[in-house]
Amino acid sequence: MSDLELDALLAPARPTVDREKISEHLTEVLRLLHVDLEDENVRDTPRRWAESLVTMTSGYDFTDVKTLTTLFRKTCSQADEKCNNLVVIGGTYKTLCAHHILPFFGRFIVGYIPEKTIIGASKIPRVVDVHMRRLQSQEHLAHDIADTIEKILEPRGIAVWMGGIHLCMVMRGVEQESSFMETNVLRGEFLEDERTRQEFMSIVNRRGQRD
């Protein structure tokens, strides 16, 4: 399946979203905040705001983990070295916090020990992509990613590390500009085997906090 076909599958249209109605309500929100709606900078804001909210929540369009399963899996044998080693894939994410609808963003590192199946390196970020386009907390996002990869691969262990800066902490509340939060989800061999856990955490320490 080509990337284009995959895109179509991961982001289908969401016909039930009424952009017009959302835009009307957002106009009312701005009115209640006493924003000048005639200001040329603001005139088209409710429509743009509605549009960006729909885009940033498009992960709700895609809920079929089974489809991901059939698309992404590759079988490998235990004799194959690839099938026994820790696989680590990292990248960046950005999402909206469920409590304040403000962005949080940062880096993720996913590690897993295959059982019988592996996944193409580019597919893990696609799984992250589906989950980050929903309203999230960092904790939930890490668990959602771990759950999906677990369903796809049934690995011997899965680990998800996430580090993020939360604008709801930077711009309001405590206004902590250094509010970098870390989340760790460790399952299977990452919990049971000290060495596997150490191996993953040393990769996190090398790659996670820096870039």
The residues of the shown chain that bind Zn ion, judged by CB under 5 A, are 97, 99-100, 168
Interatomic CA distance for residues 191 and 97, integer angstroms: 28
| Residue number, 87 or 168, with CB nearest to Zn ion | 168
Q: In angstroms, what is the minimal distance from the CB of 98 to Zn ion?
A: 7
DSSP 161: E
Q: In angstroms, what is the minimal distance from the CB of 160 to Zn ion?
A: 20
Interatomic CA distance for residues 200 and 194, integer angstroms: 10
Residue of this chain nearest to Zn ion (CB atom): 168
Q: In angstroms, what is the minimal distance from the CB of 100 to Zn ion?
A: 4
| Residue number, 97 or 141, with CB nearest to Zn ion | 97
| Residue number, 115 or 182, with CB nearest to Zn ion | 182
Interatomic CA distance for residues 188 and 115, integer angstroms: 11
DSSP 86: P
- Strand-pair category, 135-136 with 87-97: parallel
| Residue number, 33 or 174, with CB nearest to Zn ion | 174
Q: In angstroms, what is the minimal distance from the CB of 10 to Zn ion?
A: 26
